[in-house]
Amino acid sequence: MVKLPPIRETVAGREWIQEGQISVLSGLIEAKFGIPKSMSSKSLEDLTVETLDELSEEILKIDSADELASWIEEHIPKRD
């Protein structure tokens, strides 16, 4: 029997999870701040799966679109 790695450990799995997280978070952001899904999705694409998990817990504590933008900016991984 072939043992497969957990889905979070595969590139395709992480991309699939990330797409789902972005879709849900974009809907929440649109409902809470009135930011269209297309705009928030682009901002969220640079975040890791782990950071999107963290944002899903923080989103209810964030009070403004500016605060959200700052949070996202602070959590985008630095590129060399």
Kindly report the pTM of this predicted structure.
Answer: 0.82
What six digits make up the tokens of 72?
Answer: 């996202």
For residues 15, 45, 56 and 53, what is the CA-based torsion angle, rounded to 10 degrees? 40
Residues 43, 74: contact at Cβ < 8 Å? no
Could you tell me how far CA 14 lies from the centroid of its own chain?
12
Could you report the per-residue pLDDT of 22-73, keeping only the tens digit for each?
999 999 999 999 999 988 888 899 999 999 999 999 999 999 999 999 999 9
What six digits make up the tokens of 35?
Answer: 């930011």
Distances 18 to 53, 63, 66 between C-alpha atoms, Å: 9, 24, 23
What six digits make up the tokens of 24?
Answer: 């849900």
